Structures are given as structure tokens and as C-alpha cells.
Amino acid sequence: MKKVTLFVGRLLRETFWIAVAVGLVAGGVIGFRYLGENRQIVEAQPAARPVALVETVQLEPLDGPLPIRGEGFVAPLRQLSVSSQVSGRVIEIHPAIAERGRFTKGDVLIRLDDRAQVAALTQAEANIAATETRLAQNVQDLDRTRALLERGVATQTQLDDLVSARDELEANLDGFEAAKLSAEISLSDQVIEAPFDGAVLSKSVEVGDVVSPGQALAEVFTEGELEIDVPVRQVDAALIPGLFSSSQAAATVDIPFADYVFRWNASVSRVEPQVDQITRTLTVTLRLNELENVEGRTVGGHTLASGAPPALINAYATVVIDGIEPEDTYRVPSTALRGGANLWIYDNGVLAVAEVDPIHVDGEDTYVQVTDLPEDTQVIFTALAAPVPGMQLRDVNEKVQAALTGSAQ
């Protein structure tokens, strides 16, 4: 009886737990159906992208030639040391030598003591005159002796002696004429003349000094003919019209003086026929013409009490050579050039991409060619994380302007 009771109790417990398990499964199924029938369907909505703020600058069309920039130092067309070919004592110097002034071609810059040369020339001329007189007498004696020889009065020996004397006199005459020429050359060497119009840079001689051959006496230069050698990259040289032909490209030269800048007009004079071995650049020589402002005002419009200074030798100068004038060309900041050949355009609040052709780099600016652009085109020079044509943008300048307008109201 006891075993039957234990069996019945176990059966009831198992039946209970089976019923609980079945109830839980049934409840889960019923709950899942209920949630499925009463679920709320959520439709996908596009995420709103934030509008990027950008800075823009208006595209500037090229108005004039491309600027080919360079720098160099002012130097004279000619600069040389005045020296003597002979030794001697200085007896006279030109006022330009003493005062570092100007002189004209052919002026006597320095004169040496020429008394010895004058005496030698006088001696040579006297010897020539005496020899010519003796030669003339010899010619008469020859004619007379030939006549006497024909009559049998003179001998052949007498005639031969006169012919020999004539030959000797003629040889002496040639020697005296050579001595005269040497004396004239030596006399001319005592005078040093100016080889060109110019001015004196420095002097190293005074009246009374004894100089030797080859000794530098003064340094002179062509004051009115000044030049500047400017290294130019080959890619920039290709943009200068007529550089390798007879035409002369125009240029402007800025030379600082006392914290002010004076501007000179210039032109290309020549190009060195070789490439620099280190920099691989061409040396373009500019000839200074005249001050751009004839009244002597600086680039900033100031007038110095001293007046406009000349273009001083060895002065530092910045140069702008006029390049070609291409059509459909604009100046943009180099930082606004994307991928080397694209510009980001701000087009009524959206991003547009324009393909351009860079033709010249000028410092922080790049000149590009592109067609079919409106005059008021705004170029973006702000970096964008993920630029996509058509993306929404907002110009910082417009936001600032709106803020200023709102505060004014």
C-alpha cells in the first residue's frame, strides 16, 4: 500500500510540471502572435546631413600680362679698372676722378709726366730730318757721278760708294721713323682717356704718385646704362614673348631705398646662351630705362627730401617681366587648386567642380585657364572632408553678412 501511494505521488508531480511546461510554451506562442499582430511599422527616413560652412573668394580674371617675377642686383653695363701701360709720375687727374663725378668719352682722365717721351720724339724727328737732308744730297751726288762716269771723268768705284751710302741712309731713315712711331706711342700712353661716358666708382691715385704698368688707378662704370641679371625658370621663360628673338619684353623693377621703393621701367636686353649648372635656370638681363614716376615719388606716393635716388650699384631689386596675355585666365590661391587641375565652385549653395588648366605659378597664386565661367564665380578654398558634387554648402561670408544685417535692424 505504501508503494502504491509513492507511485501516485510521483505521477502527480510529473504531471504538474509537464502541465506547467506546456502552459509556458503556449503562453509564449500566444504572446508572440499578439506582439506580431500589434507591432508598429517604422519606415526608413533619410538622415539629414549638416550643411558645411566654407570660405570663398571671387575668381579674378587676368587683366594684363602674366607676371614673371625674379630678383637680382643692379650692375653697370661696363665696369673696368683704369690702369697705365707705362710707368710714370701722375701730373694731372680729371675732376671726375677726384670728386667721383661724371665724365664723357674721350676726356683725359689721367696724364703722366711725358717730358722724356717728348724729348725722344723730338730726337727722332731731328734724326729723320737730318737723314732726309743727307739722302737728298746723296741723290744729287749720284746723278752728278753717273754723268761724270759717262764722260770718263769719274770711276765706277765712286759710283758704287754713293749707292752704298744711299742704301745706308735709307735704312737709317726707316729706323728713325720706327723710333718716331715708338716715341709717339709712348707719348700717347702717358695720357689715359675715358673709353665711354660714365662715372667714377673709386680712385687709388693722387697727383704726384709714381705708377707702374698695370697698376689700377681708378674704377669707372657706365652710370647711364645699368642692368640686372635675373635667374628665370625655363617654364617661366617660355611665357615671355619674344625672349629669344629681337623683340624686347617690358618689365618693371622695384629698388628699395631708405625703407621706400622706387619703380623703374626696364626691358629685356639679352639672355645668356647657357643654363646654370646648379639651378638649371636661364639668366635674363634687364636694361633699366627710367623711373616710372618722373617726379621721383615712391611707389607709396611719398617724395623724399633728398629727391629720387639713382639706381645704385649692387642695390637689391625685385623684377616683374611681362609675360603673355592668355584668354580665359584667372588668378586663384594655390591652396584652392584641388588635385592639381580642379576647382571647387560655390554655385548657389551647392558644390560644383570645374576642371582647369594651370599655366603659371606666381608665389601663393596660380593662374589657370578655364572657359564658360560666370564673372561672379566664387571659388572655395576651405578643405572638405567628403566633397561630393551637389552637396549643400553655406558661405561663411553670407552668414556674417546676415548676422551684420540682423544686428543693424
Q: Is the pLDDT of residue 406 over 50?
A: no
* Across 1-18, average pLDDT: 69
In this prediction the pTM is 0.69
Give percent of the chain with pLDDT exceeding 90.
28
For 216-250, write each residue's pLDDT tens digit. 899 998 887 899 999 999 999 999 998 888 678 89
Q: Is the pLDDT of residue 85 over 80?
A: yes
Residue, of 318 and 336, whose pLDDT is higher: 318
pLDDT band for position 401 (cuts 50, 70, 90): very low
For 104-140, write each residue's pLDDT tens digit. 999 999 999 988 888 988 999 999 999 889 888 888 8
| pLDDT value of residue 320 | 95
Q: Is the pLDDT of residue 205 over 60?
A: yes
The region of weakest confidence among 11-20, 238-247, 251-260, 283-292 is: 11-20
| pLDDT value of residue 4 | 64
| pLDDT value of residue 6 | 67
pLDDT band for position 390 (cuts 50, 70, 90): confident
For 139-156, write each residue's pLDDT tens digit. 888 888 888 877 777 788
Structural domains of the chain ordered from first start = 54-60+327-408 (2.40.420.20), 67-75+225-322 (2.40.30.170), 78-113+190-221 (2.40.50.100), 115-188 (1.10.287)
* Across 30-47, average pLDDT: 68
3-state DSSP of the chain = CHHHHHHHHHHHHHHHHHHHHHHHHHHHHHHHHHHHHCCCCCCCCCCCCCCEEECEEECEECCCCCEEEEEEEEEECCEEEEECCCCEEEEEECHHHHHCCEECCCCEEEEECCHHHHHHHHHHHHHHHHHHHHHHHHHHHHHHHHHHHHCCCCCHHHHHHHHHHHHHHHHHHHHHHHHHHHHHHHHHCCEEECCCCEEEEEECCCCCCEECCCCEEEEEECCCCEEEEEEECHHHHCCCCCCCCCCCCEEEEEEEECCEEEEEEEEEEEEEEEECCCCCCEEEEEEEEEECCCCCCCCCCCCCCCCCCCCCCCCEEEEEEECCCCCCEEEEEHHHEECCCEEEEEECCEEEEEECEEEEEECCEEEEECCCCCCCCEEECCCCCCCCCCCEEEEHHHHHHHHHHHHHC
